[in-house]
Chains A and B, each alone.
Chain A
Amino acid sequence: MFYREVGQFKTSYKADQSIFPILQDRIGIAVILFVAFAIIPAFGSDFFLSSIMIPFLIFALATIGLNILTGYTGQLSLGTGAFMGVGAYACYKLTTFFPDVNIIIMVLLSGFFSAAVGMIFGLPSLRIKGFYLAVTTLAAQFFLEWCFIRISWLYNYNNSGAIEVPRREGFGDIVLAGAAATPATRYLVVLSIVVLMTWIASNIIRGRIGRSWMMIRDMDIAAELMGVRPLYAKLSAFAVSSFYCGVAGAMMVFFWLGAAEVESFDINHSFLYLFMAIIGGLGSLVGSFMGAAFIWILPIIIRALPETFGIDINAATVEHINFMLIGGMIIFFLIVEPHGLARLWQIAKEKLRTWPFPYT
């Protein structure tokens, strides 16, 4: 009854093409941003910020990256983890060479390195499609993992074989990275980058370039006959997608983990991001957030439930329940709703629009 666009007439195409044409959506997003930027950092506990919100946002960004390639352009990738690794190692090397440059700039610059690597591994997509392309991204995954282990220059020859995040200050003397950085600071940095990059992604997707990606995804023959050059469309998707993954990977190490080795970027993680994209909804930015929340936050809630209700249950059993639940959901979405949580949300909104008079 209240979620309506009735009476909201668009008098220009400009208004009609804005991100959130419906007033209630605009209010909703303003509330979410206010809560995210003001309420959560002020009142959230360190655990909530460090272990729930920061990884959730980083995973959401990685999922957006994967979605650009797989959801919007239709090129299946199993190399997300490795592309994130490229960003992380690039950022580490950059800040080693230029310790005085603001780490946020380095995190963003490192995206260009993963974009370049992504484009190289995207070249086969001009000749091969679908399953076989997935296999070449798998090859990228293994090759890059090998590099992360064998090329010790990448982790400054540390004996541990890991990247250890150095202390970095910016904006005066605020500690942005390293053990001394407060969760609230790191959270705000991550949130700002994720919000900015999500906004940019939505702009690209709604414009000519995003349309050319979707044209390739939906019907590549027709796309070419309308003047889309497959080379440009696919490689730009690989580049932008890998850029997003690279920035997510750099943030993961510098603003969340504090130290990382190759395990953080392995094939299991690549699959994890793919699950997030599928459950959230392929080809949906909102879905990327939903998928990341579902896979990262739901298990934490389930783990906390027995204690909250005073039930005595083995921790291993809870983990098994988690695995079964997530596995079941993936199968459910693949079969019943391939467009994921985002589509369910959309259906709910459509229902809400006519509620309580379904036939008006």
Chain B
Amino acid sequence: MNMAVAPTGTAASKPAAQEVLLDVKNVSLSFGGVQAIKDVSFNINKGEIRAIIGPNGAGKTSMLNVINGFYHPQVGEITFKGETRSAMRPYVAASQGIARTFQNVALFRGMSTLDNIMSGRTLKMHKNFFWQMLRFGPALDEEIEHRHKVEEIIDFLEIQHIRRTPVGRLPYGLQKRVELARALAMEPELLLLDEPMAGMNLEEKEDMSRFILDVNDQFGTTIALIEHDMGVVMDLSTRVVVLDHGEKIADGTPEEVSANQDVIDAYLGVAH
């Protein structure tokens, strides 16, 4: 009886079809004996904020590394903007429009805030070596054009006062913000954020949440967000995928996921 009702019921209640930006299909990844990801599939729709959560060692960071080509999964395939691939170099992922921030800040420590953000424009700058040598004409125009864009981002993230500071000297919270700025400078279609609020106090978290929402809202950037703070996840995300020990144990809206018994067990550490 149920079976007869189900198809029509779901079809009627389904929202308008979403455009899928990224589709991860049956991905498995192992390092020697350690299986970091086991047969995980999920997708990210264009324009949404997709949270990836799970206990420590669940494979969240590994998943981002697979998506931007840093790790090559043994099994499975990834479709981004309709193009399918199983392995690619990170700079190819970057050129296709994927940017990210890191769990442990990975800024260019010897460079100023401004240069760090300018480095996000690398792929958009094309003037050749000879113009660069002279830093004149087209090369200088290009540099200034991108400087304008970078200044917009600096204003957007409210970091004008640290423009010239070498990033190594900045406090942790600001470093995370500069890292976000650097990723935004790439004007990505898909932005991967690996625990952007880890180690922050409440006020900094609120600022960062606001920036993430604004980025999503104003630039229409699709975001994949790894975050441990459930409050933040509930507030920000459209849908949540939950990993545990490399496996996907739940996928749905924040409400659905937080009511899911497997998820509660995983977080409370119930033995499987």
Contact = CB atoms under 8 A, between A and B. Distances in A.
B119 A225 contact: no
Interface stretch (B19-27, B128-136, B197-205, B221-229): B128-136
Contact of B135 (A12, A207, A224): A207
A208 interface: yes
Contacts of A207: 127, 132, 135, 139, 143
Contacts of A203: 132-135
B107 A225 contact: no
B144 A227 contact: no
A13 B106 contact: no
Contact of A283 (B70, B110, B127, B129): B110
Contact of B100 (A14, A219, A225): A225
B148 A13 contact: yes
30 contacts: A14-B144, A17-B140, A203-B133, A203-B134, A203-B135, A204-B132, A204-B135, A206-B135, A207-B135, A207-B139, A208-B125, A208-B132, A211-B119, A211-B122, A212-B119, A212-B122, A214-B110, A215-B111, A215-B119, A215-B122, A218-B108, A218-B111, A219-B107, A219-B109, A221-B106, A222-B108, A223-B119, A224-B89, A226-B94, A226-B119
Contact of A211 (B89, B111, B127, B134): B111
B108 A214 contact: yes
Contacts of A26: none
Nearest to B127: A208
B46 interface: no
Nearest to A12: B144
Given A13-B151, A219-B106, A227 B140 contact: no
A217 interface: yes
A229 interface: yes
A209 interface: yes
Interface in B125-181: 125, 127, 129, 132-135, 139-140, 143-144, 147-148, 151
Given A14-B140, A207-B143, A211-B111, A228 B93 contact: no
Interface of A: 12-14, 17, 200, 203-204, 206-212, 214-215, 217-219, 221-229, 236, 283
A210 B119 CA distance: 10
Given A203-B135, A207-B139, A227 B129 contact: no
B263 interface: no
Given A203-B135, A209-B132, 13 more contacts: A12-B144, A13-B144, A203-B132, A204-B129, A207-B127, A207-B132, A208-B121, A208-B125, A211-B111, A211-B122, A214-B115, A221-B90, A236-B129
Task: Rank and list the top 10 A-B pairs by shortest CB-CB distance, nearest first.
Answer: A203-B135, A218-B108, A227-B123, A227-B94, A222-B106, A207-B132, A224-B90, A208-B125, A13-B147, A225-B90
Chain B interface mostly: helix
Contacts of A215: 108, 111, 119, 122
Interface residues of B, number: 40
B68 interface: yes
A223 B107 CA distance: 9
Nearest to B140: A14
A298 to B, nearest CB: 28
A266 to B, nearest CB: 31
A116 to B, nearest CB: 15
B29 interface: no
A226 B132 contact: no
Contacts of B148: 13
A218 B168 CA distance: 11
A52 B182 CA distance: 46
B243 to A, nearest CB: 21
A9 to B, nearest CB: 15
Contacts of B125: 208
B91 A224 contact: yes
Contact of A227 (B106, B111, B122): B122
